Structure 1
Amino acid sequence: MTTFDQILPIATEVLAAHHDTLAPLEWLIVNRDLNGRVRLIVPEQTREDEVQRAGIEAIYQALAERLAPHAYAASMGVLYEATQEDAQQGASSYPLNGFDRVWVVDRLTTEANWARIAPETTGVPRVVFFSIKGGVGRSTALAATAWHLAQEGKRVLVLDLDLESPGLSSALLPPDRQPAYGITDWLVEDLVNNGDAVFDSIVATSNLSHDGEIHVVPAHGAAHGEYIAKLGRVWMPKVQADGSREIWSARLGRLLHALEARIQPDVVLIDSRSGIDEIASACITDLGANLILLFSLEGEQTWNGYRMLFEQWQHAHVAEQIRERLRVVGAIVPELDRITYLEGLRESAYGVFADTLYDEIAPANPAAIGPTASGDGKWRVDDLVEGWNFDEADEGAPHHPWAVNWHRSFAGLRSLQGRLASIDGQEVQAVFGSLIGGVSDACDGRKAS
């Protein structure tokens, strides 16, 4: 019995065996529907060519026999469309390994699309704080980073996009400074063209701002109202007058652009939902993030999760579009044996990056390495295959963790507001120094370039 994970390997094998039949086609789509059943979609003109049509039907017959129950009856297994765009209908797609003109299209119940990577924004630096698992101190670290950047004189815009578990705003805003509305309110009102009614009341300035400013956009306002009912609608696409659909992440991007235009921040910090869901997908892949911080605890749950995500990017041929923006953060590094813990974390991170995102580097050709003819003591190295790769010990590598040390003073968001209001900068450095220094350098370096 064939299972879902065997669909693409079997499809690859069957299609490769019919290479000559596929050669005349401009494109072919392997379409997986919401139930995981497969059809083939080919150009409309193929239907008019009896030889080509018979060939495609024979391919699907062979495919269906091997894919059952993930296939339709042979008579229902081939569809015809005028263009590839018509066939995809906006669904995520990626090329099937080993084929130039064969694409896989997945029909999903959600619009989260980890395989579609938006280009880096060229404006204000956007930094996303993300974790596979919750409870790793991600939001606390973001609040401390915002505090530090404001101490440096920067204007910081903070978005609490952990919509299903909000709380960041309480660390940066006392109760009397909470705005009337939040991100959820704007997303719901925008569906009925009423976003402007709440836009001016979704941002508040933190009392922790000193030389700079911290502008906070919470998940919800001071009075959360029917938050659960609103939360169930934020993911909705907006249907325009012409019938076109604007997916929720595009609406979120429009809100972010409007906030940047109004506040003119020096940096944007985004607190993402943990896990692989709609919010995380939008934050990481759709908002043009320049730096994506991967908060990590040493353990199988962390690395299995990141491996699944990296393999998806690798599988969809988009890894090169995002890998240089990633950086591992060692979360809640224990007080005892910190060096040993961080070495283990770095080793695990390196293993996942090396298996999925780093390029394989071919060994040097021994015949091409030797002293130069001039006898100046220099050596030539020819025929080396260059790629994006790092040594395990390279401190500049994305797998090398920026440490956030555990400290009881920063163990919860509830007490963080008062803590940061009278904090000793040296204490912040002791706990978050590696992280905040890395973020600050990354933002300054990008601005300088």
Structure 2
Amino acid sequence: MTISFGETFQQVQECFNEQSVIDSLLPKLESVTIIRDIKGKIRLFIEPLEDRSIEEAEIADMKSFLSRKFGNYYGNDIWLPAGEKDGYKALIDTIKAERVLAAWDDESVLPRWYILERHIAKQAWTDNTLGQPPWSEDLVAQKHKPAIVSFFSFKGGVGRTSALVATALTLARNGHRVAVVDLDLEAPGLATIFSPDDSDNLGVIDYLLEKKIQEQDWKLRTHLISINEPTLLGDDGESIYLLPAGTIDDNYLEKLARLDFQNLVDGELQSTMVDMLKELNKEARRLDFILMDARAGFHDIGGLAITALSHAAVIFGTQSRQSWAGLIHVIRHLASPGVDKRLPLILVHSMAPALGISGRETELTEFREQAYIVFQDNYYSEDETVPDANNTEEPFWVHLNLARAKHFGRQFIS
């Protein structure tokens, strides 16, 4: 039987109740601490009573049983205290300081039960180079692979997700095969937009956590949602494939705490997300576009999406100091050294206020003029010809914006 993330604590408790080998240890124990590490794997710290000792054979039997019971979810570690000279003393001191009593602990009965969740701190947006998407722009241009486009905003509530949905529907209605991916894991919403009555579905957060543990046993295709309603797509439109963020249940925050978005240790998260996109393309078959809804602000999963996984990005802003303060940094961050390495961008003024025709046009004009200055100062190199802002054929006039629109950019807009 396959064990999932949310069942691990309960399963450990049940192990101590059902297994005779472990049952024989209970009278010897003062406490059991169940540790769920940063990858979601289970490890144990057990403390014997002062007048009791635990034999090596008992530990070996326990390890063997837990390995059979938990498979890859067992971290293959059982720690015991060994005094001041113990090489693990610092670790054990941390465990004792950070553990909390388990919900099922009965203070009147030994052993006492504790749990400890291990989390990792975050840091991001520091790398000055762009990564490599799962497949090249050449394969996209030749229509052998789908274009991966991230939708990103510095501020929330600017219509980013709504614009992504509208883009996906428009593309699908015009015969393009589209997949949408909800990477806004802290505030997911795509599943409820497309399927308001059926949002109970595994998704991105489960792939990133469970796939690394269950490997071949976790299949993405069983969690893709197919949207094919004629009222949305028309009679001749193509289906849209949705990979949601995941189900927001009692385990969601603990899953989220283990996704090391900002300490990208050895590029592990990036490689897992690359595998996810490759598997998505394989399972959905013949996709033309993969649209990813990235997290607002300087969150690392948004940075990872647009800098390492995408062929282009659509970024949203407003004509305000707060918005431009972040957009300038984002645009500068995406303009890595060398013209050919820059990420094609579409900068969209969103939520333009209804100030009347003249007021609205004034704001849009000011936004376009400010965008031109920002791109000139932060995106284009000193020896590069910047598009003419007054030429209707240049990027800064068409759609108000598009930096370095070459073959891919023009294909995307059309």
TM-score bin, normalised by smaller chain: 0.5 to 0.7
In structure 2, the partner of 1:93 is none
More off after superposition, 146-155 vs 113-122? 113-122
In structure 2, the partner of 1:212 is 238
Map 1:220-239 → 2, pairs under 5 A: 220-221=246-247, 224-235=249-260
Change in 2 beyond 3 A, CA 1:109/1:147 = closer
Change in 2 beyond 3 A, CA 1:216/1:181 = same
From 332, 336, 361, the equivalent of 2:351 is: 332
Deviation at 1:180, TM superposition (A): 2.6
1:391 and 2:388 matched = yes
Structure 1 residues 122-172: Cα deviation after superposition (integer angstroms, max 9, x where no partner): 321111111111110000111111111111121110001011111122112
CA distance in 2, matches of 1:237, 1:251: 14
CA distance in 2, matches of 1:189, 1:276: 26
CA distance in 1, matches of 2:306, 2:164: 16
TM-score (norm 2): 0.59
In structure 2, the partner of 1:172 is 194
From 100, 114, 131, the equivalent of 1:118 is: 131
Change in 2 beyond 3 A, CA 1:156/1:313 = closer
Report the count of equivalent residues: 273
Report the AA paired with residue 328 of structure 1.
Answer: L
Q: Structure 1, unaligned stretches of length 5 or more? A: 1-107, 362-386, 404-433
1:179–1:201 CA contact under 8 A, matched in 2: no
CA RMSD of aligned residues (A): 3.3
Map 1:135-174 → 2, pairs under 5 A: 135-174=157-196
From 196, 221, 224, the equivalent of 1:200 is: 221
1:118–1:285 CA contact under 8 A, matched in 2: yes
CA distance in 2, matches of 1:238, 1:308: 20
Structure 1 residues 277-299: Cα deviation after superposition (integer angstroms, max 9, x where no partner): 21111111111x22211111001
Aligned residue for 2:182, secondary structure, equals: strand
1:296–1:328 CA contact under 8 A, matched in 2: yes
Change in 2 beyond 3 A, CA 1:389/1:351 = same
Change in 2 beyond 3 A, CA 1:149/1:391 = same
From 309, 316, 326, the equivalent of 1:305 is: 326
2:352–2:363 CA contact under 8 A, matched in 1: yes
CA distance in 2, matches of 1:183, 1:325: 25
Deviation at 1:189, TM superposition (A): 0.3
Report the AA paired with residue 245 of structure 2.
Answer: A
Change in 2 beyond 3 A, CA 1:175/1:339 = same
In structure 1, the partner of 2:269 is 248
2:123–2:262 CA contact under 8 A, matched in 1: no
Aligned residue for 1:134, secondary structure, equals: coil
Change in 2 beyond 3 A, CA 1:401/1:190 = farther
TM-score (norm 1): 0.54
Report the AA paired with residue 160 of structure 1.
Answer: D
CA distance in 1, matches of 2:284, 2:244: 15
1:326–1:398 CA contact under 8 A, matched in 2: no
2:124–2:299 CA contact under 8 A, matched in 1: no
Change in 2 beyond 3 A, CA 1:305/1:112 = closer
1:445 and 2:400 matched = no
Aligned residue for 1:216, secondary structure, equals: strand
Q: Structure 2, unaligned stretches of length 5 or more? A: 1-120, 140-144
2:261–2:301 CA contact under 8 A, matched in 1: no
Change in 2 beyond 3 A, CA 1:270/1:293 = same
2:316–2:350 CA contact under 8 A, matched in 1: yes
CA distance in 2, matches of 1:215, 1:137: 21
Deviation at 1:267, TM superposition (A): 0.8
Deviation at 1:191, TM superposition (A): 2.9
Report the AA paired with residue 273 of structure 1.
Answer: R
From 256, 262, 285, the equivalent of 2:283 is: 262
2:123–2:263 CA contact under 8 A, matched in 1: no
Aligned residue for 2:179, secondary structure, equals: strand
Report the AA paired with residue 259 of structure 1.
Answer: L
Aligned residue for 1:181, secondary structure, equals: coil
CA distance in 1, matches of 2:307, 2:169: 26
Change in 2 beyond 3 A, CA 1:189/1:158 = same
CA distance in 2, matches of 1:219, 1:191: 17
1:273–1:279 CA contact under 8 A, matched in 2: yes
Change in 2 beyond 3 A, CA 1:270/1:204 = same
